[in-house]
Amino acid sequence: MTLALVGYGEAGSTFAVAGAWGGLARGWDLKADRRAAMVIDGLPASGSVQEVLANARLVLSLVTATSAYDVDFH
């Protein structure tokens, strides 16, 4: 199964690291520093939200409510 993780703040990073999702998931975040943190944590970072969603069988969107609109249109 391919898991897409959208958002790599406090919740997203906790889920990914605690679950050791590195080989099972790909991630994306609006912020470049958070995408870099994904890679450091062993989670492949996608270049766009469309890319991370393209082959996902399960999506976890862990963004703040105020960011949800911005993510939808990137």
Q: Does the reported pTM lie above 0.85?
A: no
What is the chain's length?
A: 74
Q: What is the pLDDT of residue 69?
A: 60
Residues 8-52: pLDDT tens digits?
Answer: 998 999 999 998 887 889 999 999 999 999 999 999 999 998 999
Task: Give, as one character, the DSSP assignment of residue 30.
Answer: S
b/e per residue 1-37 (b: at least 16 CB within 10 A): eebbbbbbeeebbebbeeeebeeebbbbbeeeebbeb
Maximum distance among all alpha carbons in the chain? 30
Q: Which domains does the chain have, with CATH numbers?
A: 3-62 (3.40.50.720)
